[in-house]
Structure 1
Amino acid sequence: MQKVYLDNAATTQVRASVIQKMQEALTECYGNPSSTHSFGRSAKTAIEKTRKTIARYLNAHPSEIIFTSGGTEADNMILRCAVRDLGVQTIITSKIEHHAVLHTVELLEKEYNIQVCYVGLDSYGNPDLEHLAALLQQDDTKKLVSLMHINNEIGNLLDMDAVVELCKKHQALFHSDTVQSLGHYAFDVQKIQADFLTAAAHKFHGPKGIGFAFVRRNLRIQPILVGGSQERGFRAGTEAFHNIVGLEEAFIAANENLAQEQAYVLDLKKYFIDELKAVLPEVVFNGHSGDLEKSTYTLVNVRLPFDGQKSQMLLFQLDIKGIACSKGSACQSGSSLGSHVLTEILSEEEMKKPSIRFSFSKDTTKQELAYVINELVVFSNQ
């Protein structure tokens, strides 16, 4: 049985060079970064080097990079600090954000009695920018807009320039969950004037359990985790040094190979779309995932022309054939409610058909995609 991994939006295979760097860190540089002796100083120096590396690629200042355990912690920290420390009274978001944002906003609404507004969506899942403008000017409360750059289930690309322009016009803060973006797209925070961005290393061939938040320098937030003075007091606790070193190597490799890997994976996506349409003409691509211009090059979300019992067995049958894919976010895999993203943009009738997210990486091959397409055809004929 062939093994095919097409769930790269959930997590990616760690690069060999990243593993090597992490092994070196674990065996040769194991001092506590807060210790003043040479072992500790070596670890601390490497951490600050990583901070500078990330800042260089983002055109940011090193002080604007805060290491976290990943995207979820970074989103939580930013949203909570915006309300607690920066006086945000209204958060504007959408109902198809990652649950790291949605659940945090729901809690903040209860804890701080803030106002939460949800921007309208079109049938593809794009935020209605006219509605966003109306929400921004509906009252004088201090506002924060939180909209993800790439939707992790349907791959839609947000027009960040337009959203930033609206936020600046109405003196609102802008946070974007860029977990599916950083490491896959070039970002210049001097050109894209977002106030907050988030990243997770395991989305771009780095280790799990490490990520970072970008927090613009003029925004004075206070720590969520208190204790020691790590991360300049923003996040207490001994740093996961080996993960930080792995993050740096993964981020360097992702950015240095960006153009080449983008072109390679985009070609895979085009091939998959064309071949799937040829053999299953009734297939539908949810959101803009079938549009090479309006969605990320890394994934497609397909609605397949299968009904009833066959639909319920699809993921199970693909798994038996060695094919890894998903219904949506891996963070929801234990939920029986289905995709909250697709629920917002599809009709009840459309939701009866199986929707599968296939996500690609530099490690994916056309031969693997051909195998998957063939298995889908075999399944449709059973």
Structure 2
Amino acid sequence: MSRTYLDWAATAPPSEKALETYLRAAREYPGNPSSLHRDGTAARRALEDSRARLAGLLACSSERIVFTSGGTEADGLVLLALLRRPSPGSIVISSIEHPAVFEQAAVLERLGWKVRRVDPGPDGRVGPGAIAGACGPDTVLAAVMAVNNETGAVQPVAEIRRALDDVSRGGRRILLHTDAVQAFGKIPFRPESLGVDSAALSAHKLRGPRGVGALYLRKPFEPLNAGGGQEAGIRSGTENLPGILAFEEAAEEAVRGLPGSAPRARMLTDRLLEHARGIPDVRPLPDCRTPGDERYSPWILSLSLPGLAGETAVRVLSDAGFDVSTGSACSSSRRKRRVLEAMGVPEALAFCAIRVSIGPTTTESEIDVFADALRDSYLRYRT
């Protein structure tokens, strides 16, 4: 049986160019980038060249890029660095954050920090005024993801920056962190134009290897963790040079290809949305999403299948040759649908939700065949 992969938001199959780059780098650069010998200095040059190219894709200077092991570590570096402050303050996060931010905020809360969580509207987007309104005199950071990983809702990050500036006028700048894992390489993303202070990036979401990512930093900070001082002291540990070079290669492919790939992805997602609306009782989440709606990423679509549990639907569709998910693959808890419930989606509908996410190699034929299988499976197994 042939399989159709529709879980790109969980992880993307690596591109051939990224794989080739990884293998070439592993062979050509045996040295540690921190070593002073010839192989070490060659590795350092390759590392810094890759950093500069990645920075170019983000339209920022290379010293603002810190390589990490992935998006989760990048998020954690920013939030846990707050523990270096002499006394706890408060942070504001959206209640639809990825677990990499949501759970780190809970750690801060257990250690004495105040965490204010802001719900989105029914459309899955967080209001700038709501974020600013949750800030107090002791608020030092707000965290709002760029694109939600379950619904594809694009958050108004630039407007949130302006709202934070308004509420803190005359006082200390409230830092703004964004998890941009589902944004970079998928929609236009330039951290400096958005006004963020930090942004987490991941290679494996855009066809790079797993285990490598990056952190954009407007200004350096003192991290909680200490070590050998690599990456300007922000993230100690020997850099994963083959992974970093493959990450940059995949990012180059994704960003340079966006003018063609994003409209095509929108067409495919709209096509699936029209198919889904033709299945009795099936609805998109949020229900207000319509074809061409630019408030949502063209790569992610959430659907509710009333009367058929999401986990059951995933297994049934997997048996039919289609890989989809119920939501974040980075969370061990599948029973609660925190993001959907924060949007006000009734628990019964949230329990029956699946996420379909596509990539640059997804075809119209795959969408049409999947839609037929979805209809058949749903009408057969719904209760």
Question: Normalization by structure 1: what TM-score?
Answer: 0.92
What secondary structure does 2:92 align onto?
A: strand
Report whether the alignment pairs 1:156 with 2:153: yes
Inter-partner Cα distance in structure 1 for 2:349 and 2:282 = 12
Inter-partner Cα distance in structure 2 for 1:215 and 1:129 = 22
Inter-partner Cα distance in structure 1 for 2:146 and 2:65 = 19
**One-letter amino acid of the structure 2 residue matched with residue 159 of structure 1:** P
Q: Rate the CA distance shift 1:248–1:348 in 2: closer, same or farther, 3 A.
A: closer
**One-letter amino acid of the structure 2 residue matched with residue 303 of structure 1:** S
Report whether the alignment pairs 1:232 with 2:229: no
Inter-partner Cα distance in structure 1 for 2:83 and 2:349 = 38
**One-letter amino acid of the structure 2 residue matched with residue 165 of structure 1:** R
State the Cα deviation string for residues 58-107 of structure 1 (Å, max 9, x = none): 12121111101000000000111144259771110122111111111111
Q: Rate the CA distance shift 1:242–1:270 in 2: closer, same or farther, 3 A.
A: same
* Aligned residue in 2 for 1:38: 38
* Aligned residue in 2 for 1:304: 305
Contact 1:87-1:142 at 8 Å conserved across structures: no
* Aligned residue in 2 for 1:284: 283
Q: How far off its partner does 1:294 sit?
A: 1.1
State the Cα deviation string for residues 96-139 of structure 1 (Å, max 9, x = none): 1111111111111222x121111232222222333323222xx3
Report whether the alignment pairs 1:245 with 2:242: no
Contact 2:126-2:156 at 8 Å conserved across structures: no
Aligned ranges 1:163-182 → 2 under 5 Å: 163-169=160-166, 170=168, 171-182=173-184
Q: Which runs of 4+ in 1 moved over 4 A?
A: 85-88, 288-291
Report whether the alignment pairs 1:361 with 2:359: yes
* Aligned residue in 2 for 1:79: 79
Inter-partner Cα distance in structure 2 for 1:80 and 1:25 = 32
Structure 2 residue runs of 5 or longer lacking an equivalent are: none
Structure 1 residue runs of 5 or longer lacking an equivalent are: none
The 10-residue stretch of structure 1 (187-196 or 30-39) with the greater mean CA deviation from structure 2: 187-196
Same amino acid, percent of matched pairs: 29
* Aligned residue in 1 for 2:113: 114
* Aligned residue in 1 for 2:142: 145
**One-letter amino acid of the structure 2 residue matched with residue 295 of structure 1:** Y
Inter-partner Cα distance in structure 2 for 1:122 and 1:182 = 24
Q: How far off its partner does 1:31 sit?
A: 1.1
* Aligned residue in 2 for 1:214: 216
Report whether the alignment pairs 1:8 with 2:5: no
**One-letter amino acid of the structure 2 residue matched with residue 331 of structure 1:** C
* Aligned residue in 2 for 1:343: 341
State the Cα deviation string for residues 286-318 of structure 1 (Å, max 9, x = none): 13654522100101000124x16x766322111
**One-letter amino acid of the structure 2 residue matched with residue 151 of structure 1:** N
CA RMSD of aligned residues (A): 1.9
Instruction: Provide the aligned length of Structure 1 versus Structure 2.
Output: 372
Contact 1:54-1:251 at 8 Å conserved across structures: yes
**One-letter amino acid of the structure 1 residue matched with residue 240 of structure 2:** A
Inter-partner Cα distance in structure 2 for 1:58 and 1:110 = 35
* Aligned residue in 1 for 2:369: 371
Q: How far off its partner does 1:336 sit?
A: 4.3
Contact 2:285-2:304 at 8 Å conserved across structures: yes
The 10-residue stretch of structure 1 (335-344 or 296-305) with the greater mean CA deviation from structure 2: 335-344
Q: How far off its partner does 1:20 sit?
A: 0.8
Q: How far off its partner does 1:264 sit?
A: 1.6
Inter-partner Cα distance in structure 2 for 1:294 and 1:281 = 25
* Aligned residue in 2 for 1:65: 65
Inter-partner Cα distance in structure 1 for 2:87 and 2:45 = 35
What secondary structure does 2:193 align onto?
A: coil
Aligned ranges 1:119-134 → 2 under 5 Å: 119-134=118-133
